[in-house]
């Protein structure tokens, strides 16, 4: 895959920011789009863009902004719901590859604002699929989620497990994406790969994620909310490993449709995870124990045997190293804002 034209949606987001920087550094011509919504602090999104050489003052809806440090990277503020502009962009650029990371994230928020999830995750994704149909691409890679496994009791979660019982609307929209993508791949011969991400963490991450909220609370001497009385385990996956997995997926063309887990393959108990944060920050957390939240599951655990074989990929970052990278960044970032 040499010097390809690649579209990344959600490029002001956590994963999108890192992927855009990675693919640009490899010499590909990258276009990133994002609507920069206010689900969480937009200043963090603008700070990510600044790291990629995108000047906040030049950003206007529908306007191309060239990176000052990555000559092959261009950013456009654009909403996936803007069907005409999305189609025009595809017609103009004739992308080789598309990586759809844009989505309304967050399990609990989907209980409060369901329409945002249907708009962004279903209608927005449909617009990307239609654009790939009318302006054919070599490969569409899109983000799914470990949440599609719902209340599965079989551990670890494997790609061929049944996923017919999502317990949040967010999970339901991600499962819908998988079905929509399969249908378009089958009907229109579009090579498509779906990636089920497992709890991605690291520097520049999302403030609504537990590890970020815990760190912020500990640093500000506030209690942290520990759900299910701490009896939770998550397959935390470091951002660099996720980006390597996405890059491997982009480079691996399926015959028609493929689906892979991207996880660390090693769940961490939530209380052990908190202990690592406490050690890194040199402070003890005041814990407020609560029951299980609606939409939550007690454990996530990725079976990545198929992914290792198909993509020649496996995670390399330990939880100790990954959380150290994150807390070092967090302390530095908060000193600068």
pLDDT of residue 276: 96
Q: For residue 32, give the H/E element and its range.
A: strand 29-34
> Does residue 111 fall inside a structural domain?
yes
Gap between the Cα atoms of 130 and 133, Å rounded:
5
Rounded CA-CA distance 34/37 in Å is 8
Any residues with CB less than 8 A from the CB of 9 and at least 6 apart, and which?
16, 32, 33, 34, 80, 98, 99, 100, 101, 102, 128
Positions marked active-site: 170
Query: Taking the CB of residue 297, how many other CB atoms lie within 10 A of it?
Result: 20
Distance (Å, rounded) from C-alpha 193 to C-alpha 195? 7
Q: State how many domains the chain has.
A: 1
Instruction: List per-block mean pLDDT (blocks of 10 residues) for the chain, which spans 337 residues.
Output: 90 98 97 96 97 98 98 98 98 98 88 92 98 98 96 93 92 97 98 98 96 96 89 94 98 96 95 95 92 82 97 97 98 84
In a domain, residue 38? The reply is: yes
- Tokens standing for residue 173: 């929209």
219 found inside a domain: no
pLDDT of residue 109: 83
CA-nearest of 186, 296, 185, 320 to 232 is: 296
Distance CA 90, CA 177 (A): 20
Tokens 């063309």 locate to 253
Domain presence at residue 260: yes
Give the 3-state secondary structure of residue 199.
coil
Q: Are 100 and 178 in contact (CB under 8 A)?
A: no
The three-class DSSP label of residue 243 is: helix
Please indicate, yes or no, if residue 205 is contained in any of the structural domains: no
Residue 78 inside a domain? The answer is yes
**Residue span of the structural domain in which 118 resides:** 5-200+236-266+298-316
Is residue 292 assigned to a domain? no
Assign 69 to helix, strand or coil: coil
pTM exceeds 0.75, yes or no? yes
Task: Return the bridge partners of 225, or none.
Answer: 288
Q: Which H or E element spans position 268?
A: strand 268-269
Strand partners, 262: 197
CATH number at residue 124: 3.40.50.720
CA distances from 198 to 49, 132, 243, 301 (A): 24, 26, 13, 8
Q: Is residue 331 part of a domain?
A: no
Q: Which secondary-structure segment (H or E) carries 213?
A: helix 210-219
Would you state the pLDDT for residue 337?
Answer: 57
Positive or negative, the CA dihedral 310, 312, 318, 321 is negative
């Amino acid at each position: 895959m040499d010097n390809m034209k690649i579209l990344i949606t959600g490029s002001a987001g956590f994963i999108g920011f890192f992927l855009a920087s990675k693919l640009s550094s490899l010499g590909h011509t990258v276009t990133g789009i994002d609507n920069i919504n206010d689900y969480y602090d937009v200043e963090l999104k603008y700070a990510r863009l600044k790291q990629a050489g995108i000047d906040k003052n030049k950003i206007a809806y529908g306007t191309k902004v060239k990176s000052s440090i990555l000559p092959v990277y261009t950013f456009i503020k654009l909403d996936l719901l803007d069907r005409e502009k999305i189609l025009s962009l595809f017609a103009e650029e004739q992308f080789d590859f598309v990586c759809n990371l844009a989505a309304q994230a967050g399990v609990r928020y989907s209980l409060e604002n369901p329409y945002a999830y249907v708009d962004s995750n279903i209608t927005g994704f449909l617009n990307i699929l239609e654009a790939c149909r009318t302006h054919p691409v070599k490969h569409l890679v899109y983000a799914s989620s470990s949440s599609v496994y719902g209340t599965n009791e079989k551990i670890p979660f494997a790609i061929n497990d049944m996923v017919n019982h999502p317990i949040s609307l967010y999970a339901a929209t991600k499962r819908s994406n998988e079905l929509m993508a399969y249908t378009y791949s089958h009907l229109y011969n579009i090579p498509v790969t779906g990636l089920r991400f497992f709890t991605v963490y690291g520097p520049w991450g999302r403030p609504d994620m537990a590890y970020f909220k815990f760190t912020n609370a500990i640093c500000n001497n506030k209690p942290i909310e520990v759900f299910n009385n701490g009896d939770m385990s998550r397959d935390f996956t470091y951002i660099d490993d996720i980006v390597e997995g996405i890059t491997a997926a982009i480079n691996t063309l399926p015959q028609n449709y493929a689906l892979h887990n991207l996880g660390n393959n090693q769940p961490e108990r939530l209380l052990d995870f908190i202990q690592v944060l406490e050690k890194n920050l040199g402070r003890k957390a005041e814990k407020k124990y609560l029951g299980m939240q609606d939409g939550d599951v007690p454990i996530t655990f990725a079976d990545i045997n198929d992914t290792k074989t198909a993509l020649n990929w496996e995670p390399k970052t330990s939880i100790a190293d990954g959380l150290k990278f994150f807390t070092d960044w967090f302390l530095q970032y908060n000193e600068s804002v």
